[in-house]
Amino acid sequence: MSAVIIDGKARAALLTADVASRVAARTRAGKSQPGLAVVLVGDNTASHIYVRNKRATTERVGMRSQAFDLPATVTQDALLTLIDRLNGDAGIHGILVQLPLPRHIDPDAVNERIDPRKDVDGFTPYNIGRLVQKRPLLRPCTPAGCMLLIRETGEQLVGMHAVVIGQSNIVGRPMALELLMARCTITLCHSATRDLPRLVGDADIVVAAVGRLAFVQGAWIKPGAIVIDVGINRTPEGKLRGDVDFDSARARAGWITPVPGGVGPMTIAMLLSNTLTAAELQDAP
């Protein structure tokens, strides 16, 4: 067996094109151009790369991207004041504060300050609460993108056993909620989970989001399973690789996402989709 590669880059291109078409139709109808404010604090190299890609793609689909690059020494109060100003700016429909933040800034305080209608990352308690209640509005980008890739397989998801490895608020927990909403049976694993290989071996769907290079071994994978690799790690040679040992897992899985070219492009595409959704929500009186 050799797994079918789930092409996240191609799926993201389709979603991005659809967003661009809807943005163009929106502006032709005389409605406001969706605006995304991206706040970057400090000089983290990876964050700068991510933000540059997000800003470029935002402009490419016809949205307005507004950059706020702040020094690592910025105070928490100053950052919260900026968020308050963006919350009140009618030309800004989405606010994204790039993580990680410097250690002296509380990310929870920053997250909770963002207007839930402008929370295009989908991380505020309000939007996570909506997801818990099966009434999502703005969904966390990476889990929502993973669900689109899982559905690309065409498999009937109802009743499947899904194992999510990693319990972060950004991926693991909302991913479990997304899969639960699809009526899968969920096992959410973490560093204290016992007998992880056995649990993975029982899974019809595996989502790896642990942040450790080649952590999930191919021998763990149930033959025919759907494997979604969220990890982005660098090898000693400087290449990007995932949390799953790709070659050995591909020999057993039915479908698998590559790294790069899998989940990563979907995260940015979902950010654009959320920004457009936020603009539409804010159209309402």
Round the average pLDDT of the chain to a whole number and report it: 96
Task: Give the mean pLDDT of 126-147.
Answer: 98
Supply 101's token pair.
Answer: 């933040």
Among candidate residues 115, 121, 204, 245, the one labeled active-site is 121
Comparing CA positions, the residue from 187, 183, 212 lying closest to residue 201 is 187
Q: Do 147 and 205 touch, CB atoms closer than 8 A?
A: no
CA distances from 24 to 15, 77, 90, 91, 227 (A): 14, 37, 19, 17, 35
Q: How far apart are CA 203 and CA 185, in angstroms?
A: 10
Comparing CA positions, the residue from 192, 189, 227 lying closest to residue 210 is 189
Residue 48's pLDDT band (boundaries 50, 70, 90)? confident
Q: Provide the pLDDT for residue 261.
A: 96
Q: Would residue 283 show up in a list of annotated catalytic residues for this protein?
A: no
Q: Provide the pLDDT for residue 45.
A: 79
Q: How far apart are CA 102 and CA 34, in angstroms?
A: 29
Beta strands in 42-133 (DSSP E): 64-70, 94-97
Residue 192's pLDDT band (boundaries 50, 70, 90)? very high
* N-term to C-term CA, the chain: 54
What are 88-131's pLDDT values in tens digits? 999 999 999 999 999 999 999 999 999 999 999 999 999 999 99
Q: Is the pLDDT of residue 284 over 80?
A: no
What are 53-90's pLDDT values in tens digits? 889 999 999 999 999 999 999 999 999 999 999 999 99
Q: How far apart are CA 267 and CA 51, in angstroms?
A: 12
Q: How far apart are CA 32 and CA 39, in angstroms?
A: 21
Sign of the Cα pseudo-torsion (28, 279, 61, 150, in order):
negative
Share of the chain above pLDDT 90, in %: 94
Task: Give the mean pLDDT of 219-228.
Answer: 98
Amino acid sitting at position 256: I
Comparing CA positions, the residue from 110, 118, 121 lying closest to residue 86 is 118
Q: How far apart are CA 263 and CA 233, in angstroms?
A: 13
Q: Is the pLDDT of residue 270 over 90?
A: yes
Q: Do 23 and 276 touch, CB atoms closer than 8 A?
A: yes
Task: Give the mean pLDDT of 203-228.
Answer: 98
Q: How far apart are CA 79 and CA 37, in angstroms?
A: 13
Q: Would residue 121 show up in a list of annotated catalytic residues for this protein?
A: yes
Kindly report the pTM of this predicted structure.
0.95
Q: Would residue 76 show up in a list of annotated catalytic residues for this protein?
A: no
Q: Provide the pLDDT for residue 44.
A: 82
**Residue in this structure with the two tokens 């899985």, named with its chain if needed:** 253
Q: Do 231 and 259 touch, CB atoms closer than 8 A?
A: yes
Instruction: List Cβ<8 Å contacts ≥24 apart for 14-19.
Output: 15/148, 15/266, 15/269, 15/270, 15/272, 15/273, 16/57, 16/60, 16/61, 16/269, 16/272, 19/61, 19/269, 19/272, 19/273, 19/276
